């Protein structure tokens, strides 16, 4: 037996469900007759009948210039359910796209930023470069405004430089490095280098990209290191590096 809740589950309003069930019982009825059997005002009866007509669940015949309402084939309830299912599928697809858009936006807006001060900060980042390189988390290191050994040891003890380069050689960690014109170029079996005019760079700042990490080494009296961990930002700087690499002169 068809219950009111079945109709409500299909999306009918309380008034529509009540009138539909009444028409099943009466088979056909005029609007004012329907209003006698239900606790719904006459105007709301007409509104609900018009809605049921639009949904294809009710039709009418005209007799003595009066409309006699009756239900259509009950199989139309199945059609209503199928329409609802199609709407749900469409809504699900639209929601998936919206979620995808949000996730894409999060890739741009969400990033992890860490700041390190002093020699220990530089040491930590260089160790991170080696660790990620050993784990194969990136293909190569990209460096803009690369420092030579002599420049580096002005700010950081020489043993840190030596250990970093020895570990790179041992683990075959490759890099491409852009040097400012007039600077000494680091010679290393796993380094490819090119030069750009010094005007391209700030002589106190080295940019390094590895994996999804973008590093700023700022060499002043007390070295400062900023690490930004973001797929999107790293890719933006990687794209910038490639443009500069094409412009640069081969040593």
Residue 137: pLDDT over 90: no
Measured CA angle at 128 (ends 127, 130), to 5 deg: 65
For the range 233-242, what are the long-range contacts, defined as Cβ-Cβ under 8 Å and sequence gap of 24 or more? 233/111, 234/209, 237/142, 237/207, 237/209, 238/142, 238/209, 241/142, 241/144, 241/176, 241/178, 241/209
Q: What are the tens digits of pLDDT across the range 183-202? A: 888 788 889 999 999 888 88
Report which of 130, 117, 120, 128 is spatially closest to residue 225, judged by C-alpha positions: 117
Give 221 or 240, the one with higher predicted confidence.
240
Count of beta carbons in the 10 Å neighbourhood of residue 168? 21
The yes-or-no verdict on residue 232 having pLDDT over 90 is no
Domains recognised in the chain with CATH numbers = 4-74 (1.10.10.10), 111-250 (3.30.870.10)
Please report which confidence band the pLDDT of residue 79 belongs to, taking 50, 70 and 90 as the band edges: confident
Nearest to 242 by CA among 187, 176, 195: 176
Is the separation of the CB atoms in 237 and 209 below 8 Å? Answer: yes
CB-neighbour burial class of residue 100 (10 A; exposed 0-12, middle 13-18, buried 19+): exposed
pTM of the model: 0.56
pLDDT tens sequence across 14-66: 999 899 898 899 888 888 888 888 888 888 888 989 999 988 888 988 888 88
- Tell me what percent of the residues of the chain surpass a pLDDT of 70: 97
Residue 108 has pLDDT above 60, yes or no: no
Q: CA distances (Å), 234 to each of 94, 122, 161, 177, 194, in order?
A: 30, 19, 24, 16, 21
State residue 203's pLDDT score. Answer: 85
Q: pLDDT band for position 107 (50/70/90)?
A: low
Q: Locate 188 and state its tokens.
A: 């290393």
What confidence category does residue 106 fall into, taking pLDDT thresholds of 50, 70 and 90?
low
Tell me if 132 sits within 8 A of 138, measured CB to CB. Answer: yes
Instruction: Write out pLDDT tens, residues 162-186.
Output: 999 999 999 999 999 999 988 888 7
Given a cut of 90, whether residue 116 has pLDDT beyond it is yes
């Amino acid at each position: 037996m068809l219950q009111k809740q079945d109709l409500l589950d299909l999306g009918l309003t309380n008034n529509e469900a009540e009138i539909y069930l009444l028409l099943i019982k009466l088979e056909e009825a005029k609007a004012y007759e329907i209003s006698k059997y239900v606790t719904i005002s006459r105007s709301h009866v007409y509104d609900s009948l018009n809605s049921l007509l639009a949904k294809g669940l009710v039709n009418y015949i005209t007799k003595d210039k009066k409309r006699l309402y009756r239900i259509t084939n009950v199989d139309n309830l199945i059609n209503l359910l199928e329409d609802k299912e199609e709407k749900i599928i469409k809504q699900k697809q639209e929601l998936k796209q919206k979620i995808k858009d949000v996730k894409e936006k999060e890739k741009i807006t969400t990033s992890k930023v860490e700041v390190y001060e002093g020699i220990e900060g530089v040491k930590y980042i260089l160790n991170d470069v080696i660790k990620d390189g050993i784990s194969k988390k990136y293909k190569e290191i990209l460096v803009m405004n690369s420092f030579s050994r002599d420049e580096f040891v002005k700010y950081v003890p020489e043993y840190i430089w030596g250990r970093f380069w020895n570990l790179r050689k041992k683990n075959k960690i490759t890099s491409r490095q852009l040097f400012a014109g007039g600077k000494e170029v680091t010679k290393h079996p796993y380094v490819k280098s090119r030069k750009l005019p010094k005007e391209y760079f700030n002589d106190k700042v080295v940019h390094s990209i590895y994996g999804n990490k973008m590093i700023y080494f700022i060499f002043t009296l007390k070295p400062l290191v900023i690490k930004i961990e973001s797929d999107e930002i790293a890719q933006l700087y990687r794209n910038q590096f490639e443009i500069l690499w094409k412009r640069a002169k081969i040593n």
